Structure 1
Amino acid sequence: MIGVKRQQAYRSQRFLFERFCSRSNMDNLARGADWRTVTDRKADQEQGIPAFAAWELLPGLRVTYTEDYVMGSSFAVAISYLGEESLRTPIAFLSAHPNTLSPEDLITDFDSSSTDPRKMSAAVVRLGLGAPLEEDERFSRRIIQCIGSSEADVRESAVWASMCSEWVGFRDELVRVAEGDDDLFLRELATEAVEKLDGIGADHP
């Protein structure tokens, strides 16, 4: 599997980068590959709006890049209205990006943050954002660990991570949070996550 269908388009997995050092490299990649810039939005940190850029490879095939300071991550994703197979070319480019983090990098980053709740919160979000398209026990076990954390910030980040992963296997854990967490905001967020996962499951049983 190289893409998942969401509404009318296929998307690749998200390719996470080391912090925010990748935009210039993405620009260089786009120029070298003759991709056409279609969107270039600057960040507005006061409004919580991330920087965002998009390039068109072909009509119906794009690569987008996001720098999200709230989540502490930058990432790119390929989106195609031309079918799943058309994702192969942009995936090859993004996989070879010099700042792309591998699954092993994301797991190591998480494990090294295990004694610091603030760092763990950021690391578990990155696990969700950079999760493979198909469920991977290495990722899910760590995200579930954080869903059960005694730290509310870590639990919140883990709920966000589960939403970003789009893995329906998190549903039972999220229902538990939605029905029993002491934090009202987390209960509401988990309820939203369950509804999102149910929608994905209904579209793609």
Structure 2
Amino acid sequence: MPTPPQPALDRTSRRLILRDHVGNADVRAFVDAAGWTFVGQIDRDLEHGIGYEAKWSTDGGDAHYVVDEFADVVYLLAPDAAHASIENALSVWTLDELIEDSYVHVYPAGWAKSVLRLGAGAPVVADERVLDHLVFSAQHADVPVRRAALWAMVYAAWPEFTEALTALARDEDPGIAREALDALELLSAAQAGGR
């Protein structure tokens, strides 16, 4: 798994996870049709845990296209007012689909991937279905599933995960325990900052 990210914990809308078949050309065509103004981009720098990101200005605020290699997803982070047009033009995972997909995998690799995708696409406000599944996954016997659940909690950035992350900070795997402590610090800083 690549270096853990520093996902934007101050987001005000859900990350819209694009399906695998949505390509750069599809996003570019949508952005052009929507009349968004290109602001700039951040080039990929995997050594520092940075994926490619492009930014546009829209009528409702800034929109970001992010290639997140840690979560193995590509998403748009845009103002809520733009969500309907994005969902109508591009193939996006709905929250219900993300939840359903996270329950169908029994093998650890698929489970870990779907749990991380669920966390990346979680809503801004805690959803009980997501909360329950990520806490359940954090107790899985397989280390990669627990690690994916831990980072899914970071992506969601809900204070409701504090207890589960505190338990993971005592995990038998030292890597999980260390990353859980880091995650608690990240979430604490985000909450202190007003999120």
TM-score, normalising length from structure 2? 0.85
Q: 5+ unaligned residues in a row in structure 1: which ranges?
A: 79-86
Q: Is the 8 A contact 1:14 1:130 kept in 2?
A: yes
Match of 2:181 in 1: 191
* CA-to-aligned-CA distance 1:87-122 (integer Å, 9 cap, x gap): 343233233343111011101211121x11001111
Match of 2:122 in 1: 131
SS of match in other structure, 2:22? coil
- Residue identity matched to 1:198: S
In structure 2, relative to structure 1, the CA distance for the partners of 1:203 and 1:46 (3 Å cut) is closer
In structure 2, relative to structure 1, the CA distance for the partners of 1:42 and 1:170 (3 Å cut) is same
Q: Which of residues 139, 142, 154 in structure 2 aligns to 1:163?
A: 154
Q: 5+ unaligned residues in a row in structure 2: which ranges?
A: 1-8
In structure 2, relative to structure 1, the CA distance for the partners of 1:49 and 1:196 (3 Å cut) is closer
SS of match in other structure, 2:71? coil
In structure 2, relative to structure 1, the CA distance for the partners of 1:88 and 1:152 (3 Å cut) is closer
Distance of 1:57 and 1:90 partners within structure 2 = 8
CA displacement at 1:48 relative to structure 2? 5.6
CA displacement at 1:42 relative to structure 2? 5.4
- Residue identity matched to 2:173: D
For residues 54-93 of structure 1, the aligned pairs below 5 Å read 54-58=55-59, 61-78=61-78, 87-93=79-85
Distance of 1:172 and 1:41 partners within structure 2 = 35
SS of match in other structure, 2:64? strand
Q: Which of residues 134, 140, 145 in structure 1 aligns to 2:136?
A: 145
CA displacement at 1:145 relative to structure 2? 1.1
- Residue identity matched to 2:95: P
Q: Which of residues 95, 98, 102 in structure 2 aligns to 1:103?
A: 95
CA RMSD of aligned residues (A): 2.4
TM-score, normalising length from structure 1? 0.81
Q: Is the 8 A contact 1:146 1:154 kept in 2?
A: yes
Match of 1:200 in 2: 190
Match of 1:82 in 2: none
CA displacement at 1:34 relative to structure 2? 1.4
Q: Is the 8 A contact 1:52 1:66 kept in 2?
A: yes
Between Structure 1 and Structure 2, how many residues are aligned?
188
Between Structure 1 and Structure 2, the one with more strand by share is: 1
Q: Does residue 1:35 correspond to 2:36, yes or no?
A: yes
